[in-house]
Amino acid sequence: MKRIVLLLPLFLITMCGEAPVTPPAQACSPPLDGSDFTCPPFDGDFPTKPKPLIPTQSVKGEIDVWNPTHFIQMQQMFERNKQIAEIEKNATKPSDAINSALDNFWEKQDGSNGSTK
């Protein structure tokens, strides 16, 4: 009974207190009746997605310094990680590849911008 009496004020304080209210979202869409409208200020740049990375390997567990196969496996892991870094450095962005393919397509479709002779 004493526990209920002790918990009752805590319950009433949490239930009767003010709840945080979030402001309504403001969208920038024109009304359907065609009347004038204003957009809320823009907060900044849209978040950009990070460049996709190929997962690299890391050393896990204990390393036995007296076992030469551990050193060979570590060397191979470091070489693979170096190759992955080179691939990521020289990789073509997908947007560049798509734009290049579209340019080539339209050039073949409509011809180049050369002379009309």
pLDDT per residue over 27-44, tens digit each? Answer: 677 778 878 877 777 766
User: Which residues make Cβ contacts (< 8 Å) with residue 54, sequence separation at least 6?
Assistant: 84, 87, 88
pLDDT digits (tens, 9 = 90+) for 78-90: 999 999 999 888 8
Q: What is the pLDDT of the chain when averaged over all its residues?
A: 76
Asked if pLDDT for residue 25 goes beyond 90, the answer is no
48's tokens: 């950009």
CA–CA dist 91, 78 (Å, integer): 20
DSSP class per residue in 66-87:
T-HHHHHHHHHHHHHHHHHHHH
The verdict on pTM exceeding 0.85 is no
Residue 21 has pLDDT above 90, yes or no: no
